[in-house]
Chains A and B, each alone.
Chain A
Amino acid sequence: MSIRIERRLSQPRWLSVAVPVCSLVVAFLLIAIVLLATGHDPLETYKDLFEAAFTAEGALSQTLVGATPLLFTGLAAAAAFRMNLFNIGGEGQLYFGAIGSSAAGLLLAGQSAPVLIAAMMIAGIATGAAWALIPGFLRAYLSTNEIITSLMLNYVAGLFLTYLIFDSSSYWRDTTSPSAAVFPVGKELPDAASWPTFGSSIVVPFGFLVGIVAAIGLWALYSRTRFGFEVQVMSDSPRAARYSGMRTRRKILAVMGLSGGLAGLGGASQVGDFLHTLDADPNGLRAYGYGYTGIVVAALARYNPFAVVLVAFLIGGLQNAGISLQGPDFPSGLVGVMQGMILFTTLGGELFVRYRVRIGRSHRGARPAEAAAEATR
């Protein structure tokens, strides 16, 4: 007997729905084992989980708060990964978006809310994009691996953020208020720089709506425009792209800029929607790893912008529920195990979309797609 993994010749459409659903079922079965072993009733826990994420009073609002940054970093990762450009730097680009947008909010104090909000969004996009262009330039002109450079720059960005608030008297740092003398904090942004919310029973942050618009824009850009066409060709065969006269280096810069801009907009949304200051607290903005979770969001969404919205919402719910579930008899480690298990099975399940497993005596050898295509001549 043998187990063999083969590449699928074709990927039926139903698989892309069935596989994630089955993965989730498997995850909940595995979690049930862990829960039983630790003396919890799985069904009860799942009920609590679902309530905390979606149905309890104010749960959906909290879920949207968690989903908003993931929506942006998910779109940022999807935008770059579509062209096989692995921008792992969403985290740092988000910090820089926060730095840029908070500067805009502070500098333009006294302006009307629409002006302030627009300026913060533009500044967030610009600074996030600028930070992403560093690995972009290195990749386009020196063929440096953007995975390494963008990842490393996350740490640089994190340290720079710390420096601005903790280790310098920068423009962003609050040096006047009494509390700031005890623990360094950033300046509060003017009230007019707070982004609005919509709805009463379910509070929808302005940033989440901006994210949905960005998702629609990204979809239109990638599936309807010349730019999107060039990205498709580049991702499939860079040689064919160059052969057809596409400006491949510029395209790398543009896509890195786009990706960084989306992450930067996520940083602006953090400042405008929730923080209202430049937050460098090690337990604050830097603690959540939105940039990294965004990569998972993009992968689960198979780089589809609309799916990113949905997945960001679900992962946001999961994180929100995790926080609510924690208590004396439900340690946070267990919450982490649950979240990890779900990510593990859903990402692992992706294998079954592209490959199939044959057990027992196979009637066919591994068939490279090319050989099969040749045989059908």
Chain B
Amino acid sequence: MEPTAQSQTVAPAGLRARPAIACRRITKRFPGVVANDRVDFEALEGEVHALLGENGAGKSTLSNIFTGLYRADEGELEVNGTPVAFDTPRDGIEAGIGMVHQHFRLVEPFTVAENVMLGDTSDLGRSFRLHPRAIEERVAELGERYGMAVDPRARIWQLSVGEQQRVEILKALYREARILILDEPTAVLTPQEATDLFGTLRAMADDGRTVIFISHKLHEVMAVSDRVTVLRDGRSVATVDTSASTRESLAALMVGRELNTYARPDDGREIGELLLEVDGLTAAGDRGTDAVHDVTLSVHAGEILGIAGVSGNGQRELAEAVTGLRPLTGGQIRVAGKAVHAGDPRAAIKAGVAHVPEDRLHTGVAPSLSISSNVVLKSYREDENSVGPFLRFRHIRDWAVELIRRYDVKAPGPSASARQLSGGNLQKVVLAREFSGHPRVLVIAAPTRGLDVGAIETVHAHLRDAAAAGVAILLISEDLDELMTLSDRIAVMYEGRIVGEVAAAHAVVEEIGLMMAGGGER
């Protein structure tokens, strides 16, 4: 996808540009950590400026300082050449700064239009009477204009993660921010959609707006930005012109070492017996209409079957149906030849189906409970963890300590709550638990979303090891690079159906992208 996207890159912004937002020697401390350490940053009017860095490098903290959510402990912030001191996010909005967060700030029971209406300080939003029609129209119009179609009357909880992100982008667009900060906005988009988004960002920059694009994906940064500021360990390492950089040079700045990315190693896995058969599976979505239509799949021991697709095309529902979280309206699921009682998570667990859900924090773990509790979430009933009705707390704690060591989880200790962990460490805890149940089948969705490069490598290594040990893996991801690196075969889902399947070795990204967008042939 890189060549097509790169062709969109325009030369760095012209000489006329003046700084729209600038900061000098910004320092922000949190208990026990310096998130930003004397950071210098400057983004010009009319440029797309990428903020590149691994997770934990301080990108989110810096953007939160820009939007007024945090206040820097030290340093100066200027907007349009004027020193500013934001006390609240409202100050940031009033200064014309809009933010699309990585963690969505949406009210789930509200509609798309209602979410846009929230905090709207324009005349329409301030008036006593609500004007839902006008806002719905405006949202629909904006969505159409930027190729981000979303039903303005749909409620947020009914939308997929990808669609929810579109709402966030629309919200900022609706408020007509002069400076738009996007925190990893492409994580849930297809290559085509990402390219469209880059077009949108470019158009906004050409209008004289400033786009700050936060990412740890090199090809995106190469494709969309004029300049790049690299953060590492809370410090600003360098600001460079994109045109004068390569992926390799940026990667070296970002992680301080060279990376070998996106090469599918020929690990010589042996494909064994048929372990997971999904036969004519049909299941209803949250809105009651069929979200998965007549899906038939098979995965063998030692095989990784990738499911590609834009989020919201039935992948989540498919994963939930296979793991018993969602009842079937038709079809059958067999594990190692035996039919699994559908719609019962415990039956799926007993049959040896492990599940790493898309929503790690609220489904994959109980966030307020300790790591100890979370590692036995599925095995607390077993004899080794309990005596009669009582739990063996000491044994469970020792087991958690062992898993923390074995999976290299960075945590204060086994009694730390899951919520305290970073995305990568949380995912390690979930993987540790799922693998310790000795699964035959693993269903894993968006395994590396929001993780930094190091954590992604670790998760991928664990998946390869599991496949090598004979687990049949159903990998659902919106990250095509990830699917290409890991999968043996890739099936593409579109509007609840499997619209094509290719062997990963012969897969062409553009072809898969086309199928994801509904343009493929069966």
- CB pair B369–A243 under 8 Å, yes or no, is no
Query: B378 — which chain A residues lie within 8 A by C-beta?
Result: 244-245
Produce 1/0 per residue, B368-388, CB < 8 A to A: 110001000110110000100
Interface status of B363 (Cβ within 8 A of chain A): yes
Decide yes or no: A233 and B362 within 8 Å by CB, A224-B390, A365-B68 being known contacts.
no
Q: At the interface, yes or no: A13 with Cβ under 8 Å from chain B?
A: no
Q: What's the nearest-Cβ distance from chain B to residue A229, in Å?
A: 6
Tell me whether A233 and B87 are in contact (CB under 8 A): no
Is A33 positioned at the interface, with any CB of B under 8 Å from its CB?
no
A369 to B71, CA, bound (A): 16
Interface contact A375-B60, CB-CB below 8 Å: yes
Please indicate the chain A residues that have their CB under 8 angstroms from the CB of B419 in the complex: 369-370, 373
Q: Name the segment of A103-111, A147-155, A158-166, A356-364 touching the other chain.
A: A356-364
Confirm or deny: A40 has a beta carbon within 8 angstroms of a beta carbon on chain B. Answer: no
**Residues of chain A lying within 8 A (CB to CB) of residue B345:** 242-245
CB distance from B399 to the nearest CB of A (A): 14
Q: Do residues B386 and A375 form an inter-chain contact, with CB atoms below 8 A?
A: no
Chain A contact patch, size range: 35 or more
B363 touching A377 by the CB < 8 A rule?
no
- B69 interface residue (CB < 8 Å to A): yes
Interface check A176, CB cutoff 8 A: no
Indicate if the CB atoms of B391 and A225 lie closer than 8 Å: yes
Closest partner residue, chain B, to A233 (CB atom)? B366
- Whether, in the assembled complex, B208 has its beta carbon less than 8 Å from a beta carbon of chain A, the answer is no
User: Once bound together, how far apart are the Cα atoms of A242 and B357, in whole Å?
Assistant: 12
Q: Which residue of B58, B344, B369 has the most chain A CB atoms within 10 A of its CB atom?
A: B369
Q: Residue A237 contacts which of B68, B71, B323, B367 (CB distance < 8 angstroms)?
A: B367
- Complex CA gap A246/B379 in Å reads 11
A377 to B55, Cβ gap below 8 A?
Answer: yes
Bound CA span A247–B366, Å: 16
Q: Is A226 an interface residue (CB 8 A)?
A: yes
**A240-B377 contact, Cβ under 8 Å, with A362-B87, A371-B64, A375-B60:** yes
The answer, among B58, B88, B349, B390, for a CB contact under 8 Å with A365, is B88
Is the contact region of chain B dominated by helix, strand, or loop, or is it mixed? loop
Chain B residues closer than 8 Å to A9, beta-carbon distance: 31
Interface readout for A225-242 with B: 1 if CB under 8 Å, 0 if not? Answer: 111010011001101111
A377 to chain B, nearest CB (A): 4
CA distance A50 to B58 in the complex (A): 57
Q: Are B71 and A245 in contact (CB under 8 A)?
A: no
The interface residues of chain B lying within 8 Å CB-to-CB of A224 are: 390-391, 393
CB within 8 Å of A: which B26-58 residues: 28, 30-33, 35, 55-56, 58
A232 and B377 CA atoms in complex are apart in Å by: 11
Check if B391 sits within 8 Å of A376, measured CB to CB: no
Asked whether, in the complex, the Cβ of B355 is within 8 Å of the Cβ of A243, the reply is yes
In whole angstroms, how far apart are the Cα atoms of A229 and B376 in the complex? 10
Q: Are A376 and B363 in contact (CB under 8 A)?
A: no
Do A376 and B35 contact each other (CB < 8 Å), given the known contacts A229-B373, A370-B103?
A: yes
B99 → chain A closest CB, angstroms: 12
Complex Cα spacing A246 to B377, Å: 9
State in angstroms the CA–CA spacing of A247 and B344 once bound together: 9
A239–B348 alpha-carbon span in the complex (Å): 16
How far, in angstroms, from A363 to B85 measured CA to CA in the complex? Answer: 10
Closest to A241 in B: B366
**In angstroms, how far is the closest chain B Cβ from the Cβ of A157?**
32
The answer on a CB contact under 8 Å between B369 and A236 is yes
Q: Contact between A239 and B70 (Cβ–Cβ < 8 Å)? A: no
Chain A residues lying within 8 Å of B32, measured Cβ to Cβ, are 376
Per the CB 8 Å criterion, the residue count for chain B at the interface is 55
Task: Decide: A365 near B369, CB < 8 A? Known: A227-B389, A240-B377.
Answer: no
In the assembled complex, A372 has its CB within 8 A of some CB on chain B: yes
Residues in A neighbouring B243, C-beta threshold 8 A: none
B359 close to chain A: CB less than 8 A: yes
Inside 8 A of B164's CB, which chain A residues have their CB? none
Residues of A within 8 A of B88 (CB): 365-366
How near does chain A come to B440, taking the closest CB pair, in angstroms?
A: 16
Q: In the bound complex, do residue A375 and residue B71 qualify as a contact, i.e. CB atoms below 8 Å apart?
A: no
Q: Which of A225, A236, A377 contacts B366 (CB 8 A)?
A: A236
Complex partner residue of B381 from A226, A236, A362, A370, CB under 8 angstroms: A226
What residues of B have a CB within 8 angstroms of the CB of A237 in the complex?
A: 362-363, 365-367
Q: Is the CB of B186 closer than 8 A to any CB of chain A?
A: no
Contact A226 B71 (CB under 8 A): no
B234 to chain A, nearest CB (A): 10
Which of A236, A244, A371 is B367 in contact with, Cβ under 8 Å?
A236
**Residue B296 lies at the interface, judged by CB distance under 8 Å to chain A:** no
Q: Please give, as numbers and ranges, the residues of chain B lying within 8 Å of A247 by CB-CB distance.
A: 346
Do residues A364 and B60 form an inter-chain contact, with CB atoms below 8 A?
Answer: no
B363 partner, pick from A229, A240, A366, beta carbons under 8 A: A240
Contact of B61 with A by CB under 8 A: yes
The answer to whether the Cβ of A44 comes within 8 Å of any Cβ in the partner chain is no
B261 on the interface (CB 8 Å rule)?
Answer: no
Neighbouring B residues of A367 by C-beta, 8 Å = 69-70
Q: Are A375 and B364 in contact (CB under 8 A)?
A: no
A329 on the B face (CB < 8 A)? no
Taking a contact as CB atoms under 8 Å apart, the answer to whether B357 and A243 are in contact is yes
| Contact call B420/A373, Cβ cutoff below 8 A | yes
CA distance A108 to B389 in the complex (A): 34
State the Cβ distance, B216 to closest chain A Cβ, in Å: 12
Q: Output the least CB separation between A367 and chain B (Å).
A: 7
In the bound complex, residues from chain B placing their C-beta under 8 Å from that of A369 are 419
| A229 partner residues in chain B, CB cutoff 8 A | 373, 380, 391
Residues of the B chain whose Cβ atoms lie less than 8 Å from the Cβ of A363 = 71
**Cα-based distance from A50 to B69 in the complex (angstroms):** 50
B517 at the binding interface (Cβ < 8 Å):
no
Find chain B residues with CB under 8 A from A242 CB: 325, 345
CB distance from B373 to the nearest CB of A (A): 7
Interchain CA distance A224-B394 in the complex, whole Å? 12
Q: Encode A245-270 as 1/0 by CB contact (under 8 A) with B.
A: 11100000000000000000000000
B363 engages A245 (CB within 8 Å)? no
Cβ–Cβ < 8 Å partners of A227 in chain B: 389
Q: How far is the CA of A374 from the CA of B183 in the complex (A)?
A: 13
CB contact under 8 A between A375 and B35, given known A240-B366, A242-B345, A244-B377:
yes
B89 sits at the interface (CB 8 A):
yes
The B297-332 residues at the A interface (CB cut-off 8 A) are 323-325
Which of chain A's residues have a CB closer than 8 A to the CB of B362?
Answer: 237, 239-240
Q: Which residues of A contact B373 (CB under 8 A)?
A: 229, 232-233
- Using a CB-CB cutoff of 8 Å, which residues 1-50 of chain A contact chain B? 9
B422 at the interface (CB under 8 A from A): yes
CB–CB B363/A239 < 8 A? yes
**8 Å CB contact of A243 from B35, B64, B87, B364:** B364
The 6 A-B residue pairs with the shortest CB-CB distance, nearest first, are: A245-B346, A377-B56, A377-B422, A236-B366, A244-B377, A240-B366
Query: What are 9 A-B contacts with C-beta separation under 8 Å?
Result: A224-B391, A229-B380, A243-B323, A245-B344, A363-B71, A365-B68, A370-B103, A372-B30, A375-B33
* Further 17 A-B residue pairs, CB within 8 A, beyond A364-B71, A371-B64, A372-B30: A226-B381, A229-B373, A233-B366, A236-B366, A236-B369, A240-B363, A240-B365, A244-B377, A245-B345, A245-B346, A363-B71, A371-B103, A373-B421, A373-B422, A374-B103, A375-B64, A377-B423
Q: Could you tell me which B residues sit within 8 Å of A by CB distance?
A: 28, 30-33, 35, 55-56, 58, 60-61, 64, 68-71, 86-89, 103, 323-325, 344-346, 348-349, 355, 357, 359, 362-369, 373, 377-378, 380-381, 386, 389-391, 393, 419-423
